[in-house]
Chains A and B, each alone.
Chain A
Amino acid sequence: MSGGPLIVQSDKTLLLEIDHPDAQSCRMAIAPFAELERSPEHVHTYRLTPLGLWNARAAGHDAEGVVDALLKYSRYPVPHALLVDVAETMDRYGRLQLANDPAHGLVLRALDRVVLVEVAKSKKLAGMLGNRIDDDTIAVHPSERGRLKQALLKLGWPAEDLAGYVDGEAHPIELAEAGKDGGKPWTLRSYQREAVEAFWAGGSGVVVLPCGAGKTLVGAAAMAEAKATTLILVTNTVAGRQWKRELIARTSLTEEEIGEYSGERKEIRPVTIATYQVLTSRKKGVFTHLDLFGARDWGLVVYDEVHLLPAPIFRFTADLQARRRLGLTATLVREDGREGDVFSLIGPKRYDAPWKDIESQGWIAPAECVEVRVTLTDAERMSYATAEAEERYRMAATARTKLPVVRALVDRHPDEQTLVIGAYIDQLHQLGEYLDAPIVQGSTTNKERERLFDAFRTGEIRTLVISKVGNFSIDLPEAAVAIQVSGTFGSRQEEAQRLGRVLRPKADGRQAHFYTVVSRDTIDTEYAAHRQRFLAEQGYAYTIVDADDVLGPTLPTVD
């Protein structure tokens, strides 16, 4: 029995004991084929999934290597059945290939005739396959490339896409690492460089980096690699403007070369930044802005925040299979479980780094996460107890008792830029009044938002109250403290995003603070526990304190 750091479980999870001396080399060995699922402080959990194994196969790893790695590092005997299953699963990838035939165009080619016969009979593929060219080849209409890949993945026979990419319309783009317009010289960080290289080698795929780790630069570097017209899809206008600012500062691109395609402006330029919202808006049931995809011969499509990609975008993406696609995200976890669509339509995961690793490399700020439990007043408890089920969360989350606690927390960090994040507008207004701080919410105009954010960046405003609009893609570099008072029920990725607000590296490397204020003994606590689970699994240990500890010594009471 070897004393390896890895324990292979029969449910295909791998437990890696990270204090073990071989842990680092084991991590390197299993990272290509196992998905990191949880990384708490002592034992990281990886999972062997068909997707992960196929990812590894796509990257050129074979089953023998995977089995060897498992056997080499495993502390205990590995069940024979699991090894057989791994080998069989990996063997399924690439039995079918999508390729360009000089005579027949796009074809589905089989290395195993039986598999082709099996899938050709499937009802799910009806209408996607064209004429049978010979025993091993079936013609595929180019427009079905994406849908066919989706369907084949569902059938468990993922096709290897060897059909290649069109180069698109060439456009010179360079990284301005020497500094631009008098800016300081800079270089891509090592992991950003690795991510871009991995993406470019694979052709299409997703790069997973934590918030604040510089995903925008990965996108910019990929564009510099492609040197072609680029379509960038972002979550909202503010995020789009931030991309634009970053691109102008970090690349050879000028303001004139970058277009904004949003609710306000409809510019199509060599580099165009569009929002998901405008693309998915429809009039009379028809998507009106689909022309954008065909407006130019795009050489690269960048998807920001892939985990939020709305379902219609998947459908459009299915038609874009001949273009290089880069997905950027902090997490592949999707609340709707459509990870498989990301895999088949945008591409396999090309780069992933554990958050904690990047943090220990010093790129993102260390964070202290604290959950503050507030005891409701008797009156509040009574009204909570008798409230309708659907009103309960709102009742608990917006309890007035939270206000003084929030103020105490804000006062704790008098010199820090502080964000107060909530989901309920009424509560935000209360907070705004109580803390005497401006509010950014959905109805705030973009101009006003920009002004407030600028003021916050410069330190003119110290505390900002933001609604759900602040969940995504706003750049608040010096926010060091975030206090969340309410959220979208138990959404885990919302929690991750909000933490991301304070993880951007601080100029002096000081610690970031993330507070969650919850009402004790209510459904609020349960939802908070669910949201935190994601971060706890990423290794951010929560400390739970009572509100009384925050509020300071209690007043002496008289018995």
Chain B
Amino acid sequence: MSTSLADHLRSLSDESLAALLQLRPDLVVPVPADVAALAIRAQSRVSVSRALDGLDQFTLQILDAARLTRDPADGTTSVDGVLALATAGPNPPAPTTIRAAVDRLRARFLLYGPDNALRLVGGIDEISPYPAGLGRPATELDARTAALCADPAKLRRTLLSAPPSARAILDRLAAGPPVGSVPPGALQAPAIGADDDLPPDDTNGGAPTGSPVRWLVDHRLLVRVSGGKNGTNGMVELPREVGLLLRRETGPLGPLRSSPPQVTATVREPKAADSAGAGQTMEVVRHTEALLEQLAAEPALVLRSGGIGVRDLRRLVRATGLDEPTAALLLEVAYAAGLAGELELPGVAGRYGADQQVLPTAGYEVWRAGSLAQRWEQLARAWLTMTRQVGLVGQRDDRDRPITVLSAEAERAGAPAARQAVLGVLADLEPASAPSVDEVLALLDWRAPRRSRGRENAHREVLAEAATLGVTGLGALTSYGRLLLAEATAGEEGATDDPLGLRADAEDGGSAVRVLDTLLPAPVDHFLVQADLTVVVPGPPEPALAAELELIAEPESAGGASVHRITTASVRRALDAGYSADDLQELFRRRSRTPIPQGLTYLVDDVARKHGGLRIGSAGAYLRSDDEALLAEVLADRRVEALTLRRLAPTVLVTPFQANRLISVLREAGYAPVAEDATGSTVLTKPKTRRAPARVTGATRTLDPLATPRLPLPRLLGVVEQIRRGDAAARAARRAPAVVRGASPDGPVSAHSHQDAIAVLQQAVRDKALVWVGYVDAHGATASRLVRPVSLGAGYLRAEDERTEMLHTFALHRITAAVLEK
């Protein structure tokens, strides 16, 4: 079969093959060696499974129809067969839609071959064993069941005789999947005396003696199959024929929906949806900033197991007034956007034994400088692409430990795809239509059932997060959200067209930013001052205005506008920061659109009057006296000028020098100062006699320091040997003859010189003479050594190096020259 697919692929034109690869891009990673390899890969379970994931419910049902209509003999089917089966039920879909679905399947090579001999790609049966939720044919299951199914009249009679409880089970299995596990004991014989032929049960009005499953198995309507989990009594399967009979009313493939479920979404005023979303974007940006500011003030510790602890999260929640899920979401998004990061704390162990902190990154500063819309776009883009499922935060993992913010447990590779799928559903609807959550889920289920089932929670979370982030407003996708989504998808697909990321609008962040910018309030540079000393900025303040307000007023309320209150403390803070009262008055006059209330002017002047009423400075020592004239004399005395005395009050002078210096200089100048301590009582000082540190005297020595020491004999011998060795080393250090060094200008050593060398060596062995040997070492470098040859033979020279007292072995073919030592 694989060869036939390969043959088929081989016969395709380049364009058709390219079209297949475009639809199933996983086939070219890595690029297959030849068409045969491509065919094998196209039929592999993984690739087929991926191809199926992207199909909608109807196409999958048509594929099931193709599977069901296969000729058992050669495994082929035909378009007509598929059409016949698909239109067998009530409300049959239009044949054109079925043909379109078949074409989709053929384009992906899940079906191939001519119309009258369609083949299915291998591997499908492994992926979903029960086509259309129908069991295997009876002949594959059980001979006696097959016999029953072969007799349609008897089969129908048996079905009709099924008690209601058994019928309920049949109906459930007929809807698919066709297998069910059997509770333990259900298949055992009923209690003695029970009527085994037609077991009464409670719905039948009789005593509950036999289980309905047992009845069905006994009547061959269900077949026991192996499998099932421990603790269950195996599985039962509904044979295909029985299933088809039960599906008389819905059609053999079950209810068919050739088009996506209708959405009766309320369509909002597009402006209202945009406005609600834009309002939310301002909130998101503001809250993110508040969270990060809080993190900057007190960084959160990273747990050993990863993530931020619950306690830190609660602290952030308290400080920012958010709820926990929102705070978790914004933290994750800020992290994904590169606004927060970990910092190593070498050698610092925190309460949790952590040595990492989470705090804002340098990128945060850049982000803060951007416009509202740009800042939001950075966050929203990060959200779209981050592989995190924030909804898991706060839940418990497999080991029943809470999942924390930024921890590895919340990592989900499928998260970006889920977001694109959900937002894609919204994007495909009318602009500003707001479907209910269930409608969105139903649509997703139809579009890609294999991807959506079991992920309903994740999809719900995506919708909630989109609302929180302002991607949607009043439940509808906002205009800028739509653009952002389009840009993000285009960015992914267009990555190949633009590998360097040189998109034209990369600078200003794209059209989403521009659209959002028009929705958001423009920055204002003025405020309104009121008599209750509040300052209202009717819009987002300019950075300069924001900085001024941060200094001179306390924030009271934030949002589209901001309200600040001027208090004594805030005015004092401004004065501390270097503003003068006039500067402040001038600032209010310049920025305010309304007349300045008299109370504010008075407050500023009043605080300024008191500001600086107490002065602080540092001094090394003070000099005080009740005699003002005496102090005046000291101050005027030129001899103590070096002390740089300064008069603080009529009776107090200060100097930057220490008290001791002050005392000694004054005493030298003839004054009579006395030191005092912190309580004011005098401190008496006695001059201390100076002494050098103690040292050992020479009186304890007994020997004449000039006498020569006498050495014992062994030590002398050792000295002699040391000298001799040094001598040998000195000889060895002499330069080897030029021939041996191989540095002769004559080029490579000739064969003649090699033979000469052997001769020299043979002579030296006999004479026990010292020889300079030149050779090429294992790395190809030339070297030379002064040795005394010991023996020559078997291609090797063994010789003793006098200097190192070692025996060396040289391969003869490596020896380039040998010269007797003269």
Contact = CB atoms under 8 A, between A and B. Distances in A.
Nearest to B280: A80
Contacts of B520: 1, 76-77
B521 A41 contact: no
A81 B280 contact: yes
A541 interface: yes
Contact of B283 (A43, A71, A81): A81
Given A1-B518, A42-B536, A75 B560 contact: yes
Contact of B536 (A15, A536, A537): A15
Given A77-B519, A79-B282, A41 B558 contact: no
> Which of the four size classes fits the interface of chain B?
35 or more
The CB with the most chain B CB atoms within 10 A, among A8, A43, A77, A84, is that of A77
Contacts of A541: 531, 597-599
A544 B602 contact: yes
Contacts of B602: 544
Given A75-B560, A77-B282, A78-B279, A542 B599 contact: yes
A529 to B, nearest CB: 8
Interface stretch (B179-187, B293-301, B467-475, B665-673): B467-475
Interface in A433-483: none
A142 interface: no
Interface string A79-92: 11111100000000
A7 interface: yes
A145 to B, nearest CB: 35
Contacts of A78: 275-276, 279, 560
B279 A76 contact: yes
Given A9-B563, A15-B536, A80-B467, A41 B279 contact: no
B573 interface: no
Contact of A80 (B277, B521, B531, B532): B277
A7 B536 CA distance: 11
Given A77-B278, A80-B473, A544-B602, A536 B560 contact: no
A377 interface: no
> Which of the four size classes fits the interface of chain A?
35 or more
Given A1-B521, A544-B602, A79 B280 contact: yes
B675 to A, nearest CB: 31
Contact of A43 (B272, B277, B519, B528): B528
Given A13-B563, A76-B279, A40 B530 contact: yes
Contacts of B561: 7, 9, 15, 76
Contacts of B562: 9
Interface string B590-606: 00001001110010000
Contacts of B474: 80, 83
Interface in B536-567: 536, 538-539, 557-563
Contacts of B275: 71, 74, 77-78
Interface in B421-473: 467-468, 470, 472-473
A43 B276 CA distance: 23
A10 B531 contact: no
Interface string A44-71: 0100000000000000000000000001
Contacts of A45: 563
A15 B557 CA distance: 10
A17 interface: yes
Interface string A1-14: 10000011111010
B534 interface: yes
Contacts of A42: 528, 530, 536, 594
B532 A537 contact: yes
Interface string A517-559: 0000100000000000100110111111000000000000000
B519 A9 contact: no
Contact of B276 (A7, A10, A75, A80): A80
The CB with the most chain B CB atoms within 10 A, among A41, A80, A81, A83, is that of A80
Interface string B571-598: 0000000000000000000000010011
A11 B555 CA distance: 12
Contacts of B528: 17, 42-43
Interface in A1-36: 1, 7-11, 13, 15, 17
Interface string B460-492: 000000011010111000000000000000000
B353 to A, nearest CB: 37
Interface in B500-550: 518-521, 528, 530-534, 536, 538-539
Contacts of A43: 528, 530, 534, 536, 538
Contacts of B281: 77
Nearest to B516: A77
A303 B343 CA distance: 63
A80 B279 contact: yes
B467 A41 contact: no
A79 B598 contact: no
B599 A544 contact: yes
Contacts of B279: 8, 76-80, 82
A501 interface: no
Given A17-B538, A38-B532, A43-B528, A83 B276 contact: yes
A426 B636 CA distance: 56
A536 B276 contact: no
Contacts of B282: 76-77, 79
A536 B283 contact: no
Given A80-B276, A80-B473, A8 B560 contact: yes
A9 B472 CA distance: 20
A439 to B, nearest CB: 32
A26 to B, nearest CB: 14
B690 interface: no
Contacts of B599: 536, 541-544
B610 interface: yes
Given A8-B559, A13-B557, A80-B279, A536 B539 contact: no
Contacts of A79: 276, 279-280, 282-283, 470, 559
Contacts of A71: 272, 275-276
Nearest to A79: B279
Contacts of A41: 530-531, 594
B524 to A, nearest CB: 11
B598 A544 contact: yes
A7 B530 contact: no
B286 interface: yes
A371 to B, nearest CB: 8
A521 B539 CA distance: 36
Contacts of A15: 536, 538, 561, 563
A11 B556 CA distance: 9
B471 to A, nearest CB: 10
Nearest to A533: B532
Contacts of A17: 528, 538
Contacts of A75: 521, 538-539, 560
A539 B597 CA distance: 12
A241 to B, nearest CB: 37
A395 to B, nearest CB: 19
B597 A11 contact: no
Contacts of B536: 15, 42-43
A308 to B, nearest CB: 24
A9 B521 contact: no
A76 B597 CA distance: 27
Contacts of A540: 531
The CB with the most chain B CB atoms within 10 A, among A1, A78, A79, is that of A79
Nearest to A546: B602
A47 B275 CA distance: 21
B284 to A, nearest CB: 9
Given A76-B539, A544-B599, 8 more contacts: A9-B560, A9-B561, A41-B530, A79-B276, A80-B467, A80-B474, A533-B532, A536-B533
Interface of B: 272, 274-283, 286, 467-468, 470, 472-474, 518-521, 528, 530-534, 536, 538-539, 557-563, 594, 597-599, 602, 610
8 contacts: A7-B561, A9-B558, A9-B562, A11-B559, A77-B520, A79-B276, A79-B282, A79-B559
